[in-house]
Amino acid sequence: MALSPPKSRADATVRVDLPRSALTGVAPTHHRRRLGARDGLSRVAARMRFQPLTVFWLIIVAILILPIALFLSVAFSPRLLDQGSEWFTLSAFSTALTGQLLSGLLNSLIIGISTALLSAAIGFSLAWVVLRTDAPGRRIWTGVVFALLLTPSYLIALGWERLLEPNGVLSILGYDASWARHIFYGPIGIIVVLTVKGIPFAYLAISSAMRGLGHEFEDAVRVHGGGPLSSIVVVISLLGPAVWSALAIVFAESVSDFGVAATLANDAHFSVATYTLYNAVEAFPVNFPVASAVSWTLMILVVLALLVQGRALRGRSFRVLGGRSRPVLRHQLSIRGKIITSMCLGLLLIFALGVPAFGAVSASLIDGFGSLAGTHQWNLANYTRVIGSPQLSGPLIYSAQLAGITATVTVVLAAVCARLLATKGATISGRILDFVLIAAVALPGIVFAAGYIFAYNLPQTNSLGIHLYGTTTLLLLAYLATALPSTSRVLLGSMSQIQDSMGQASRVHGRGAIRSWLSIVLPVIARPLLAAWLLTYTATLLELPVSQLLAPPGSQPISVGITNALGKYDFGGGTAMEVLAILSALLVVGLGYLLFRLCAPRGWQHIGRAQ
């Protein structure tokens, strides 16, 4: 490279003669050696940088993909995993579709359809009253909906049973409940409980769409002579996607529910698909091919619900929002209308939460309830016995520890999943992760548990030095697998709002990746992370199907402790454990938000909070 001297001070330009290689884009030999070495270092650094992502995918495969894939494959090829002599057969499905198993599947189908229709109707009516009228007391229903969402179905069923069973609370109080018991112990009672559990899903799906629907469509109906009923019909047709989503979600939740199957349905000798799967896994010897075939039928029911939803919405347009949408005006109810609406909401609250809560609390206050020993007096003897007995208080402490660990690990992994899904221009791995998480959401918890029993008890697994069957570690992994898909979806919205430029600007000013994440990302998602942690904790604390199948010998989660106490006719002790478990969950939720308010920086508390 040569520098030509300037001819004068006024012409102080510098001419640079570049080598031919710079003009042609080819570096000299010594430059190419440096670039080659630099590229090699970059590739090594890239490998080191992607090691955490590799570890993440190994975790996803181990807890979500491998156990379920192995378990579902044995229905078609028992010999593949030493569960039979055929390489390919459909005999497991022929067994699953006959006798008691077929009866349980048909019962689940009928209950799922009935529950979906009732829950969608009640959820739509509730959303209409809360969002479109001035009915008194409508503000409390957001809290009621989330209380129902967090309450396990088996606790609602047990609350009803404590009231209606022979020598139950109503019998002790001097009321003859035999007529109600004959009605409730059967498909009607199962539909009632599952409808109560389905109302929150239907309400949240429909209310979210109803909030954005303008008032001009109702005005158009009235202009053309239509009444209130015609307005409701038009609104339902315009909310088609939300209504069909509610039907599909409630149907999937109902056919895959295990809590009611293990309590009310079992006590009423009414077979459903999830309990037939439980019996197939618990039988001796275990018939894993048949259990896998039953799992396939459960998943097919869920897929059919989604296909029906897609078929109903195909070829129709529901784009009703635009720049001319008018704000919603609440209907002014008359005095008579407010009274009727308040009575309906009150009855719904009584059936949904009041009756189960009264049944559980009252039963826990009767000494010796369910047994011949005891005074049957109203006191706190059951609570004193539970707190003072390690056999009764141990399950609550054990479950609280597992729930805390599960919630913490789940939130960390869910944040990574949500970030990968929210990245623009998703890679193939991101699309695969999205598919795996969606498929996992549709899997019933009982299928997860059965898959873990099968995969981690195989001789091939033990030969690899993996001895997890019958341990707390396996139970934790199953908890994590069931909680991760839904928690990732909860955090996806918050992660999608974070722009990449924020982190890039932080790194330009000298901050590393970790400091950038702590200073930029964490304040934005702190409140959603806390909500996700608390939701995962409460759901894991009272989880039943995974706990029932994977509880290690000598250790009982609280849900297993409750069912075991009730199985020994210690109804007073079992219901006292229920009440203490729910109170402890509410205490943790309250402490979580209190600590966040006291300890989190002020800026963190303002982000994401309504003004």
The token pair at 344 is 């309906």
Per the listing, tokens 């001819």 go with 7
CATH number of 366-611: 1.10.3720.10
Q: Which residues of the chain form CATH 1.10.3720.10?
A: 74-318+332-364, 366-611
Local structure of 75: helix, strand or coil: coil
pLDDT of residue 111: 92
CA dihedral 299, 301, 306, 310 (to 10 degrees): 140
Mean pLDDT throughout 122-148?
82
Is residue 576 scored above 50 in pLDDT? yes
Is residue 234 scored above 70 in pLDDT? no
Structural contact between residues 574 and 559, judged by C-beta atoms closer than 8 angstroms? no
Mean pLDDT throughout 253-262?
86
Mean pLDDT throughout 552-569?
86
- 52 contact partners, CB below 8 Å, separation of at least 6: none
Is residue 229 scored above 70 in pLDDT? no
Is residue 544 scored above 90 in pLDDT? no
Is residue 12 scored above 50 in pLDDT? no
Per the listing, tokens 């982190």 go with 503
Neighbours of 476 (CB within 10 A): 19
Backbone angles phi, psi at 366, to 5 degrees: -100, 120
pLDDT of residue 405: 94
- 75 contact partners, CB below 8 Å, separation of at least 6: 92, 93, 289, 292, 293, 295, 296
| R_g over Cα of the chain | 30
Mean pLDDT throughout 152-159?
88
Local structure of 479: helix, strand or coil: helix
Mark out the alpha helices in 350-471 (DSSP H runs).
Answer: 355-364, 381-388, 390-422, 428-442, 445-455, 459-463
List the end-to-end C-alpha distance of the chain, in Å, as a whole number.
Answer: 65
Identify the DSSP state of 76. Answer: T
Which range among 137-141, 194-198, 301-305, 374-378 has the greatest average pLDDT?
194-198
Is residue 501 scored above 60 in pLDDT? no
Is residue 29 scored above 70 in pLDDT? no
Per the listing, tokens 């009928």 go with 110
Is residue 6 scored above 60 in pLDDT? no
Is residue 608 scored above 50 in pLDDT? no
Neighbours of 318 (CB within 10 A): 14
Per the listing, tokens 């109600």 go with 180
The dihedral sign for the CA sequence 13, 17, 18, 23? positive
pLDDT of residue 409: 92
- Distance in angstroms (rounded) separating the CA atoms of residues 67 and 69: 6
Lowest-pLDDT range of 42-51, 270-279, 444-453, 522-531: 42-51
Structural contact between residues 450 and 71, judged by C-beta atoms closer than 8 angstroms? yes
| Spatial CA neighbour of 264 closest among 196, 197, 187 | 187
pLDDT of residue 407: 92
Structural contact between residues 562 and 578, judged by C-beta atoms closer than 8 angstroms? yes
pLDDT of residue 9: 40
- Distance in angstroms (rounded) separating the CA atoms of residues 78 and 23: 66
pLDDT of residue 518: 60
Which has more confidence, 393 or 223? 393
Local structure of 543: helix, strand or coil: coil
pLDDT of residue 117: 92
Which has more confidence, 92 or 374? 92
- Distance in angstroms (rounded) separating the CA atoms of residues 341 and 337: 6
**Residue 336: how many CA atoms within 13 Å on its side-chain side?**
0
Tell me which fold the domain 74-318+332-364 belongs to: MetI-like fold (1.10.3720)
pLDDT of residue 371: 67
The dihedral sign for the CA sequence 471, 260, 292, 429? negative
Is residue 118 scored above 90 in pLDDT? yes
Is residue 190 scored above 90 in pLDDT? yes
Please report, rounded to a whole number, the percentage of residues in the chain having pLDDT higher than 90: 6
Is 0.95 topped by the overall pTM? no
Q: What is the mean pLDDT of the chain?
A: 76
Q: Write out the H or E segment, with its range, that includes residue 3.
A: strand 3-4
- Name the residue type at position 522: L
- Distance in angstroms (rounded) separating the CA atoms of residues 355 and 364: 14
Lowest-pLDDT range of 23-32, 288-297, 326-335, 413-422: 23-32
Is residue 363 scored above 80 in pLDDT? yes
Structural contact between residues 548 and 262, judged by C-beta atoms closer than 8 angstroms? yes
Cis peptide bond N-terminal to 285, omega within 30: yes
Rounded (5°) CA angle 357-257-483: 90
385-396 pLDDT, tens per residue?
A: 888 887 777 888
